[in-house]
């Protein structure tokens, strides 16, 4: 049974469950819960509330309704004919999360989590944000559902992304600039966790990616899974077969996990994640947790992370604020370790070149985050040859990045 406006998805498809993670939140040796004891009750409560919601058709129906009538789903699958020619003939299909409300895939997760927060009787939602996309999405969902919203953002990022700070405030959220540590995303997460320890009775922490302590990696994956459920049906409908590869950028990894997950059981489909290479992995100034990191524990999870010889977290570097994070979601670490997905690196220059190419050949200004996926997809499409079908997750739009791009390409008049 398909509800109005959906493509190949039913409310029942949205939140499927499955063997991973195990009941303690492990994906193989990754994941788990490495948090202060004070948070265990809240994590157990969230796990139980989610399990109950998943079994409640009314919850899935409400979420499905919002995804359709509010967020604008399903998002289209766009044939990128000029990009296909650019890469030698392989068919390039774009999953257009940039067309979702608020301009990225982030809305999928926050609608799910904020509905869950309301169901749990929490009146206040807190979130971390780097570039501001998750913060804007959270502020949006809180406005819609009548919840108080506080967004933690590294002080350095509030200056780099001043426009998104204003957007969140317009939506009624309080934005707290975090001056601790490196003043970036990882420190915003630390501060959000400190808030949550003291406020768990009234507050839900709406984590923005497939990271953190169990159940968040599972929860966010399940809410983002709609991307892949739709894409799989759309590509089958369009081409009559499964794609040869599905490609996405990976910071924490929520857009990638969302589009990968429904394809995991299709062994012929390559899953390829692109980490942010910054100035290049060899320079040490990058955000590639798998390519340049080692297993460890950060923000409640065991995963790959950038760390020094003493286990101190290293500061990541990327032109893309949304990928500028020293860790990666634990399920990605697992997919990497099992070989089911492969992870490659795209540096700042390659990403910016791809951003310009997509703009000029397709008339789509993509987010710098998503541009990493395009750069990786171009290489992969050339490797796979002209008969291949490659799906690229176009995770967000690039309006927020015009300033950065203008400086990078020297596009402004100097008078």
Question: How far is residue 312 from each of residues 36, 135, 359, measured CA to CA in Å?
Answer: 18, 27, 39
Treating both helix axes as pointing N-terminal to C-terminal, what angle do 348-362 and 368-384 enclose, rounded to 10 degrees? 80
Question: Of the candidates 1, 310, 339, 415, which one interacts with another protein according to CB under 8 A?
Answer: 310
> Is 124 among the residues that bind another protein (CB under 8 A)?
no
Question: Of the candidates 130, 300, 329, 376, which one interacts with another protein according to CB under 8 A?
Answer: 300
Collapsing DSSP states into helix, strand and coil, what is residue 215?
coil
Q: State which residue, 40 or 409, has the beta carbon closest to another protein.
A: 40
- Catalytic sites, residue numbers: 106, 128, 395
Rounded least distance, CB 178 to another protein, Å: 11
Rounded least distance, CB 52 to another protein, Å: 18
Residues 258-297 that bind another protein (CB under 8 A): 296-297
| DSSP secondary structure, 95-155, as one string | EEGGGSGGGBTHHHHHHHHHHHHHHTT--EEEEEESSSHHHHHHHHHHHHHT-EEEEEEEH
Q: State which residue, 9 or 214, has the beta carbon closest to another protein.
A: 214
Rounded least distance, CB 267 to another protein, Å: 32
**Are the C-beta atoms of residues 396 and 322 closer than 8 Å to each other?**
yes
Question: Of the candidates 95, 101, 186, 344, which one interacts with another protein according to CB under 8 A?
Answer: 186
3-state secondary structure 358-371: HHHHHCCCECHHHH
Residues 37-76 that bind another protein (CB under 8 A): 37-42, 44
Beta strands in 161-244 (DSSP E): 174-178, 203-205
Number of residues that bind another protein (CB under 8 A): 35
Stretch that binds another protein, among 31-39, 92-100, 251-259, 271-279 (CB under 8 A): 31-39
Bridge partners of residue 178, in order along the sequence = 154
Q: State which residue, 198 or 265, has the beta carbon closest to another protein.
A: 198
> Is 193 among the residues that bind another protein (CB under 8 A)?
yes
**Are the C-beta atoms of residues 129 and 97 closer than 8 Å to each other?**
no
Return the H-helix or E-strand segment holding 309.
Answer: none
> Is 34 among the residues that bind another protein (CB under 8 A)?
yes
Q: Can you say whether the dihedral through the CA atoms of 305, 51, 11, 266 is positive or negative? A: positive
Q: State which residue, 1 or 198, has the beta carbon closest to another protein.
A: 198
Residues 155-184 that bind another protein (CB under 8 A): 180-181
Edge-to-edge strands, sheet with 389-394: 77-79, 91-96, 389-394, 245-250, 270-276, 341-346
Stretch that binds another protein, among 2-10, 135-143, 187-195, 245-253 (CB under 8 A): 187-195
Return the H-helix or E-strand segment holding 277.
Answer: none
Please return the burial class of 65, using the count of CB atoms within 10 Å of its CB with bins 0-12, 13-18 and 19+. Answer: middle
Question: Of the candidates 7, 197, 365, 384, which one interacts with another protein according to CB under 8 A?
Answer: 197
Q: State which residue, 85 or 294, has the beta carbon closest to another protein.
A: 294
Q: Which residues bind another protein (CB under 8 A)?
A: 24, 32-42, 44, 180-181, 186-187, 190, 193-194, 197-198, 200-201, 296-300, 307, 309-313
């Amino acid at each position: 049974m398909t509800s109005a406006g959906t493509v190949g998805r039913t409310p029942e498809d949205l939140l499927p469950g499955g063997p991973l993670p195990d009941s303690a939140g492990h994906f193989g040796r990754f994941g788990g819960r490495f948090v202060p004891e004070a948070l265990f009750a809240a994590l157990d409560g969230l796990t139980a509330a989610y399990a109950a919601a998943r079994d409640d058709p009314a919850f899935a129906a409400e979420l499905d309704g919002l995804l359709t009538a509010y967020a604008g789903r399903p998002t289209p699958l766009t044939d990128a004919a000029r990009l296909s020619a650019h890469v030698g003939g392989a068919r390039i299909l774009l999953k257009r999360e940039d067309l979702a409300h608020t301009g990225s895939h982030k809305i999928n997760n926050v609608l799910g989590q904020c509905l869950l927060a309301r169901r749990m009787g929490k009146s206040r939602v807190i979130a971390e944000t780097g570039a501001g996309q998750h913060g804007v999405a959270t502020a949006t969902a809180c406005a819609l559902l009548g919840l108080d919203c506080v967004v933690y953002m590294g002080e350095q990022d509030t200056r780099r992304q001043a426009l998104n700070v204003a957007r969140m405030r317009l939506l009624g959220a309080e934005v707290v600039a975090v001056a601790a540590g490196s003043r970036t995303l990882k420190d915003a997460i630390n501060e959000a966790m400190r808030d949550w320890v003291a406020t768990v009775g009234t507050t839900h922490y709406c984590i923005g990616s497939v990271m953190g302590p169990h159940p968040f990696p599972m929860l966010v994956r399940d809410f983002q899974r709609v991307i892949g459920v739709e894409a799989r049906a759309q590509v089958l409908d369009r081409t009559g077969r499964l794609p040869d590869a599905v490609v996405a950028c990976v910071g924490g990894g929520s857009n990638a996990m969302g589009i990968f997950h429904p394809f995991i059981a299709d062994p012929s489909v390559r899953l390829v994640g692109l980490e942010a290479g910054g100035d290049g992995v060899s320079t040490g100034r990058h955000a590639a947790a798998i390519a340049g990191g080692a297993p460890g524990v950060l923000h409640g999870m065991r995963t790959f992370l950038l760390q020094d010889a003493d286990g101190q977290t290293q500061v990541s570097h990327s032109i893309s604020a949304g990928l500028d994070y020293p860790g990666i979601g634990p399920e990605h670490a697992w997919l990497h370790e099992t070989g089911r997905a492969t992870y490659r690196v795209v540096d700042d220059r390659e990403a910016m070149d791809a951003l310009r190419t997509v703009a000029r050949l397709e008339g789509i200004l993509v987010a710098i985050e998503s541009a990493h996926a395009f750069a990786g997809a171009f290489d992969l499409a050339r490797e796979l040859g002209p008969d291949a079908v490659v799906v690229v997750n176009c995770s967000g739009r690039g309006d927020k990045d015009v300033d950065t791009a203008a400086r990078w390409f020297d596009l402004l008049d100097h008078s």
